[in-house]
Amino acid sequence: MPPAVWREVVVQGGSRYGAADVAAAREAGWIRVVAPRDRSLVRELGQELHPGEAESIVLTLELHPEILLIDEAEARQAAGLHGLQVTGCVGILLRANEDHKIRSLRAELERLQRHGNFWLGKPFIQEILSLAGKKEKS
């Protein structure tokens, strides 16, 4: 995780839902905070994106993980322009549902909106639930 995301999620968002879990994951060694080296690309991307998104894209380019977790449409588009494969929170929930790691996709989507300050339109939610239903039947 880049420093800008750590600051946003844990330092500035310390009282928000999940912030303590992220801090605990770092303490347990599941998450490392790593600064991207290419500061010029971070500044360039930062012209259009939030600092955490810019740092996340650059760090992904440098470390070459399989996938980048990012939700904002503009950031996903920028990541795509750099050839990065992305998923977001909804993609992770879909995978968790497929792997039977969660009881109810609908409940988790509602919790994401309620506690995560995450906006999802009703048509999008219906599309996700429909997609999950089709995958379960196949």
Q: pLDDT value at position 137?
A: 55
* Interval 81-112: pLDDT, tens: 999 999 999 999 999 999 999 999 999 999 99
Q: Does residue 118 register a pLDDT over 90?
A: no
Q: Are residues 72 and 99 in the same domain?
A: no
Q: Are residues 59 and 111 in the same domain?
A: no
Domain range for 121 is: 89-137
- Please give the tally of structural domains in the chain: 2
**Cβ proximity of 70 and 86 under 8 Å:** yes
Q: Are residues 81 and 95 in the same domain?
A: no
**Cβ proximity of 35 and 64 under 8 Å:** no
Q: pLDDT value at position 136?
A: 59
The mean pLDDT value for 55-82 works out to 97
Q: Are residues 76 and 128 in the same domain?
A: no
pTM of the model: 0.87
